[in-house]
Amino acid sequence: MILDQQTLLSDAQTVTITANSANVIDTLAPGMVTNDISVFAQVMTAFAGGTSLGIAVVSADDAALTVNVTKHFDTGAIPVASLTAKALPIAMRLPPQKMRRYVGLVYTVVGTMSAGTITAGIVEDLNTVLRTSDYAKGFSA
């Protein structure tokens, strides 16, 4: 799978406190496709120390994800024991729906996390996420 920096919501983002994804996607930006989207979130470094993590796909009228927030999907609380390296807590096509201008994720941490990173984004084809081989950034053959 080749990930485009413009469609990444989190790039090995450390998630030890409740926070939004490091990036949001502006659906009005040139070249952005606004039809059905697939979203994924993959654990890169195993989570430790906390109780659970919830991940919500949201859209809003502002890039800070604070104005007219609409929640499109929520994983609910995922136990830390399930958040091992390479776990894929989200890999789904979002049902057709009206998205607000900015799309992002909200990570809700329960407990005191001491470790855990996530890479997440939108992709056209989920099969590319499910059948991926990991290479270091900047890999060249």
Evaluate whether residue 69 is within a structural domain.
Answer: yes
Which pLDDT value is given to residue 35?
A: 62
| Residue 55 belongs to a domain | yes
CA distance 46 to 84: 4
Q: Please state whether the predicted TM-score (pTM) of the whole model is above 0.95.
A: no
99 belongs to a structural domain: yes
Whole-number Cα distances in Å, 114 to 4, 72, 106, 123, 137: 29, 28, 18, 29, 25
Residue 134 lies in a domain: no
**Structural domain count of the chain:** 1
Read off the pLDDT of residues 104-140 as tens digits, 9 standing for 90 and up.
Answer: 999 999 999 999 999 999 887 777 666 555 556 665 6
Residue 125 maps to a domain: yes
State the CATH number of the domain containing residue 17. Answer: 2.60.120.1110
Asked if the structure places residue 64 within a domain, the reply is yes
How far apart CA 133 and CA 122 sit, in angstroms, is 17
Please say whether the beta carbons of 20 and 55 come within 8 A: no
- In this structure, is residue 141 part of a structural domain? no
> Whole domain around residue 103: which residue ranges?
9-29+38-129
> How confident is the model over 13-65, as pLDDT tens digits?
999 999 999 999 988 876 565 566 789 999 999 999 999 999 999 999 999 99
135 is a domain residue: no
Using CB atoms within 10 Å of the CB of residue 33, give its burial: 0 to 12 exposed, 13 to 18 middle, 19+ buried.
exposed
